[in-house]
A and B are shown apart, each in its own frame.
Chain A
Amino acid sequence: MNRTAIAAIYRNEMARFFRTLAQSFISPVLSASLYFVVFGAAIGSRIDEVEGVSYGAFIVPGLIMLTVMTQAISNASFGIYFPKFIGTFNELLSAPLNFLEIVIGYAGAAATKSMFIGIIILITSFFFVDLQIAHPLAMIAFLILTCISFALFGFIIGIWAGNFEQLQLIPLLVITPLVFLGGSFYSISMLPPVWQTISMFNPVVYLISGFRWAFFGVADVPIGLSLLAIGGFTALCLLVVGFIFKTGWRIRQ
């Protein structure tokens, strides 16, 4: 394992994150604050409680998940697509490191960045709502797993994408709707029965539900199912990464 190379990639990616601090950090925090103002204060003031939790606090896990998933995907996909776009990807291919090390460097940095942003939003939420975390260790574990799995997913998108349009395609057309319809701002039980059934096919429901359980001890689906969903998604991403590693798909002719 070429640890020095992994560290070099990781440091390089993190340096970009801190170099573009406004874009990387202030922007998601501002968005999250706006959600708190609009959903928490304006709309939330007309909703008493959801599952025994104040609406302002109820949306915190969903908001963190929403941000973490989109940030992990965008950071990882852009992180690996950018070298492809500017032509420095060949340097990675000619260096003495295998694809797994490239994945660890890029996806690891993207996961760290998204987790960093997730924690910042969590801290921000304390300024807006009264919040207590029922299962802090489970919350951290869910956060880490989500960051890693979605960073892997973003990495796959970055490898697959042939242009910037494709890079945005899946996050915009697939992930955003799934996250919004995954119970970020509401409980699935608030939906009509038919939509509750349809929602059960949305994998993001399980992730947000599990994360919300870690906060409040209440969930839309059993915690075991949530763990299975996040574990399964991580395994699926690893399988695809393994396939790319073995075949050189989209990376090496």
Chain B
Amino acid sequence: MPTILSIKNLNKSYKGGFEALKDVSLDIEEGEIIALLGPNGAGKTTLISTICGITMPTSGTVTVAGHDIVTSFRAARSMIGLVPQEIALEPFEKVQNVVRFSRGLFGKPRMDDIVEDVLKRLSLWDKRDAQVRELSGGMKRRVLIAKALAHEPRVLFLDEPTAGVDVELRRDMWEIVEQLRVDGVTTVLTTHYIEEAEAIADRVGVINNGEILLVEDKDKLMARMGQKQLDVQLSAPVDEIPEALSGYDLTIGDKGRTLIYSYDTKSDRTGITRLLKDVADAGLKLRDVVTRQSSLEDIFVSLVSPKGEEKQ
């Protein structure tokens, strides 16, 4: 897939010397969904704001489909849709009017059928004549997405789209993003929710202290960095790890009914076969064996923790 968004050595410093972005470089392919993970103040929103023109870069370049965001800002921005983190909408205006306004603002001629299509896709058509202030928080978030899509952008930025929304709406949002992928829209989302990145992203970028720590295919990342756990569930509980199994990295769980074995999926030999044989030889009766993959959250925590950064 061709690159639609290219960020090269992007820096952003504020008055007083605070460096919000430090030499950020990132290429995003057309049609992909990339999730930027990072703790509060990591630089996620600054990165998005700089690309979208809300703040000016201190140095570095960003191009959208080859158009520089500073020198060809009209062409670049017309391809971008932004769903901001905060709900910012004109409260007394009708839903369809705020969406229509956004389309006009991006220089697109009035086309009511496109606005209608966007509103229908976001289940807002029935609310088209309602004033924004009459809507629930979830509906307002949908209006923000509708506004961002009204001018048919090729790249959509979702800044913490599901912050503070209920589980049902979050899943609805994920479906909307998936549908956008089908339509060929490239999506860049920032999130606190690892679960969100795990559920919908193709690639994951981790950002902390204004630096991109890594960007990798989500599945590869989990496979590369993921630790797996083997839970050996016993028929009868044990008080301590038998002497014969002392050579393994085992812990006891579930009040002695489970032996937990951590192993690295990357290594050629996981030691599982030998462990199970030794468990049997030690006279322990197996009830069940369960494996668990460590989540993206574990990987994220390991990356942004000081120890993890050292490892990088």
Q: How far is the CB of B49 from chain A (nearest CB, A)?
A: 8
Contact of B56 among A19, A82, A97, A253 (CB under 8 A): A253
Residue A8 lies at the interface, judged by CB distance under 8 Å to chain B = yes
User: B56–A252 contact, CB under 8 A?
Assistant: yes
User: A90–B73 contact, CB under 8 A?
Assistant: no
Q: How far is the CB of A150 from chain B (nearest CB, A)?
A: 25
Size bracket of the B interface: 20 to 34
Known: A90-B84, A96-B75, A253-B14. A2 touches B107 (CB 8 A): yes
Q: How far is the CB of A88 from chain B (nearest CB, A)?
A: 5
Enumerate B27-60 residues with CB–CB distance to A below 8 Å: 49, 52-56
Q: A47 to B289: give the CA distance in the assembly, Å.
A: 105
User: A88–B52 contact, CB under 8 A?
Assistant: no
Provide the residues of chain B in CB contact with A252, threshold 8 Å. Answer: 53-56
User: A5–B147 contact, CB under 8 A?
Assistant: no
User: A96–B77 contact, CB under 8 A?
Assistant: yes
User: B53–A94 contact, CB under 8 A?
Assistant: yes
User: A8–B56 contact, CB under 8 A?
Assistant: no
User: A94–B82 contact, CB under 8 A?
Assistant: yes
Enumerate A1-49 residues with CB–CB distance to B below 8 Å: 2, 4-5, 7-9, 11-12, 15-16, 19
Residue B88 lies at the interface, judged by CB distance under 8 Å to chain A = yes
Contact of A96 among B14, B74, B97 (CB under 8 A): B74
Enumerate A186-222 residues with CB–CB distance to B below 8 Å: none
Task: Point out which of B53, B56, B73, B92 has the most chain A C-beta atoms below 10 A from its C-beta.
Answer: B53
Q: How far is the CB of A80 from chain B (nearest CB, A)?
A: 13
Provide the residues of chain A in CB contact with B55, threshold 8 Å. Answer: 252-253
Residue A93 lies at the interface, judged by CB distance under 8 Å to chain B = yes
User: B77–A94 contact, CB under 8 A?
Assistant: yes
Provide the residues of chain B in CB contact with A88, threshold 8 Å. Answer: 88-90
Provide the residues of chain B in CB contact with A231, threshold 8 Å. Answer: none
Provide the residues of chain B in CB contact with A177, threshold 8 Å. Answer: none
Minimum CB distance partner of A4 in chain B: B107
Provide the residues of chain A in CB contact with B265, threshold 8 Å. Answer: none
Provide the residues of chain A in CB contact with B105, threshold 8 Å. Answer: 5, 8-9, 91-92, 95, 97
Residue A87 lies at the interface, judged by CB distance under 8 Å to chain B = yes
Q: How far is the CB of B156 from chain A (nearest CB, A)?
A: 12
Q: A249 to B153: give the CA distance in the assembly, Å.
A: 29
Residue B2 lies at the interface, judged by CB distance under 8 Å to chain A = no
Q: How far is the CB of B196 from chain A (nearest CB, A)?
A: 23
Residue B91 lies at the interface, judged by CB distance under 8 Å to chain A = yes
User: B91–A5 contact, CB under 8 A?
Assistant: no
Q: A11 to B103: give the CA distance in the assembly, Å.
A: 13
Q: A4 to B109: give the CA distance in the assembly, Å.
A: 7
Interface string of B72-99 (1 = CB under 8 A from A): 0111111010101010111111000100
Residue A137 lies at the interface, judged by CB distance under 8 Å to chain B = no
Q: How far is the CB of A147 from chain B (nearest CB, A)?
A: 24
Known: A95-B77, A252-B54. A15 touches B107 (CB 8 A): no
User: A91–B102 contact, CB under 8 A?
Assistant: yes
Contact of B73 among A8, A86, A96, A248 (CB under 8 A): A96
Q: How far is the CB of B114 from chain A (nearest CB, A)?
A: 14
Interface string of B152-177 (1 = CB under 8 A from A): 00000000000000000000000000
Contact of B84 among A2, A87, A92 (CB under 8 A): A87
Contact of B90 among A7, A86, A95 (CB under 8 A): A86
Provide the residues of chain A in CB contact with B102, threshold 8 Å. Answer: 91
Known: A4-B108, A5-B106, A8-B104. A94 touches B90 (CB 8 A): no
User: A96–B56 contact, CB under 8 A?
Assistant: no
Provide the residues of chain B in CB contact with A2, threshold 8 Å. Answer: 74, 107
User: A12–B101 contact, CB under 8 A?
Assistant: yes
Minimum CB distance partner of B104 in chain A: A8
Provide the residues of chain B in CB contact with A19, threshold 8 Å. Answer: 92
Query: Could you give 27 example pairs across A and B, Cβ below 8 Å?
Result: A2-B74, A2-B107, A4-B107, A5-B104, A5-B105, A5-B106, A8-B101, A8-B105, A15-B93, A82-B90, A90-B49, A91-B82, A91-B105, A93-B52, A94-B77, A94-B80, A94-B82, A95-B107, A96-B73, A96-B75, A96-B76, A96-B106, A96-B107, A97-B74, A252-B53, A252-B54, A252-B56
Interface residues of B (CB under 8 A from A): 14, 49, 52-56, 73-78, 80, 82, 84, 86, 88-93, 97, 101-109, 147
- The 10 A-B residue pairs whose C-beta atoms are closest, nearest first, are A8-B104, A87-B88, A96-B74, A96-B77, A94-B52, A95-B105, A96-B78, A253-B55, A93-B54, A4-B107
